[in-house]
A and B are shown apart, each in its own frame.
Chain A
């Protein structure tokens, strides 16, 4: 008999299976391709590579600037994330908790960077920076990423700031808390999930950003995506691209899992009132 709960279980497991396949197949393919032995190529009739080795990995590490690119990417991303959050916070606070004329317009304006194609921004950003006298590639890309991704932080933090209960703020002040004390007691517990989420999103977007890093940085300054794209160009070498792709993806997944755990433990704060 098809009872409803059984049907639901079936559908749920089917859906899970599809999603797993969707995620795992490309992942597994990338892993396999990255392990193909350079001496024995993987070609049409073979279902699996004939020989596996870590030679592609060592080759990529030794012959390219991958280590520099990784250093660049993994220092740019957290710094861009923290800077974006710090700069977005006052705007988000104002959007969420202060009424001022032109608020609706201001909110739309802050979101416009999201609708511009990355290349368009990148091309003009590069020339603006030069005319401002910013020649540091690192600084330029950092600034670019902050500008590009601040809207996400503003958006997320606006929601967080709006959730802070005014009565809890008043209670903290009433009981003698200083400015910092009020922030810790009334704001931070509610803001924390939003701050972590903003960090995660800006971090990942920055790690994966290509257009600006390429236009501003190339050829001398590399990030992981610009290296990756160099293997997708005229001399497309799939195993090498697979190595870089994995390097790009794995830390993101790990970071996401860690932050997800943090978010869960950070949230006793389903702010209650009525009971």
Chain B
């Protein structure tokens, strides 16, 4: 189970820089996601780790060993593809056995692994079926079993859940995480779905335009975004531009408290659900629109031509047009790095 180091990797396709000088470290046995919008370079980076692409610059290390020049078949990796990429003419069982057979594993050991994986992933009843006789979720499991059958130290996931419906996605997501803990492998997971990234990862690497915008644990990256892009891409965010003086920024809603020195121009950011509704609140605004979401309530509050998005428990019953007062905890407000020149 190797740890992975990416050192100064850049990738150029013709005139386009898909990756510009990316460095990151994946600890042994960790589950990390590469998160970003399409075209951010996340899949390119995954293909470089797998060995399908050779980077224009930089190195890839597994446990300190340089594998940059190594072919995919010689790397300790297995990939789960977005389209599943099952062999359409081979049965479920033969698909799973493909890797061990190519690696000339002992027959008994191959059979043991295949049976074990089919058992674990609930594929035993479908062993003899061809992939096109299976549902999307089942195909996804076959792809996963096929990757795990070579007992890889690193499993690479390329948006493996994007073709599944929402409910199945939650289920398979949990299964993948369970399996990763149980079997033990280093996982690199590519997705554009921030909920997936937050729910599964030990560490999230947020990519934008071929560079790592921010990295950190799910909580850190959600509650402490450092840039406008990070604030915006992961969930909803409220932003305020203006000067900070005396530990607060004056806004049409009232003073937003912040733990930062005075400055002429900064951008503050906080998440909609950190808000506390209270009669004694220092901030206030008019409720322009209410959207009941079941478990929670989305409130769109306006003042001075600006709109904030607040999220409160679904048990509140607030009519549109009402004026509400609220507080924002000082520790929940962050100053964005690229606020001053934005």
Q: Given A270-B132, A274-B136, answer yes or no on A165-B99 (Cβ-Cβ < 8 Å).
A: no
> What distance in Å separates the Cβ of B111 from its nearest Cβ neighbour in chain A?
17
**Contact between A176 and B83 (Cβ–Cβ < 8 Å)?**
no
What 0/1 pattern do residues 248 to 269 of A give for CB contact below 8 A with B?
0000000000000000000011
Q: Is A58 an interface residue (CB 8 A)?
A: no
**Contact between B132 and A171 (Cβ–Cβ < 8 Å)?**
no
Q: Is A139 an interface residue (CB 8 A)?
A: no
Q: Is B174 an interface residue (CB 8 A)?
A: no
Q: Is B18 an interface residue (CB 8 A)?
A: no
- Chain B, 46-95, CB within 8 A of any chain A CB: 50, 52, 71-73, 77-79, 81-90
Chain B contacts for A275, CB-based, 8 A? 134-139, 163
Q: Given A176-B150, A268-B130, answer yes or no on A165-B163 (Cβ-Cβ < 8 Å).
A: no
**Contact between A167 and B102 (Cβ–Cβ < 8 Å)?**
no
> What distance in Å separates the Cβ of A183 from its nearest Cβ neighbour in chain B?
12
Interface of A is mostly: loop
**Contact between A268 and B132 (Cβ–Cβ < 8 Å)?**
yes
**Contact between B81 and A272 (Cβ–Cβ < 8 Å)?**
no
A176 to B90, CA, bound (A): 17
> What distance in Å separates the Cβ of B145 from its nearest Cβ neighbour in chain A?
12
**Contact between B78 and A174 (Cβ–Cβ < 8 Å)?**
yes
Chain B contacts for A268, CB-based, 8 A? 88-89, 130, 132
> Which of B84, B135, B139, B163 gathers most chain A CB within 10 Å?
B84
Q: Is B146 an interface residue (CB 8 A)?
A: yes
A185 to B88, CA, bound (A): 9
Q: Is A39 an interface residue (CB 8 A)?
A: no
Given contacts A174-B79, A268-B89, 16 further A-B contacts (CB under 8 A): A167-B85, A170-B79, A171-B79, A171-B87, A172-B87, A173-B71, A173-B72, A174-B73, A176-B73, A176-B102, A189-B89, A268-B130, A268-B132, A274-B136, A275-B134, A275-B138
30 pairs, CB–CB < 8 Å, chain A vs chain B: A167-B82, A167-B83, A167-B85, A168-B85, A168-B87, A170-B52, A171-B86, A172-B102, A173-B52, A173-B71, A174-B52, A174-B73, A174-B79, A175-B98, A175-B99, A176-B102, A177-B73, A185-B87, A185-B90, A185-B98, A186-B87, A189-B89, A268-B89, A268-B130, A269-B89, A270-B132, A271-B88, A272-B86, A272-B131, A275-B134
Q: Which residues of A contact B (CB under 8 A)?
A: 165, 167-168, 170-178, 181, 185-186, 189, 268-275
Q: Which residues of B contact A (CB under 8 A)?
A: 50, 52, 71-73, 77-79, 81-90, 98-99, 102-103, 130-132, 134-139, 146-147, 150, 163
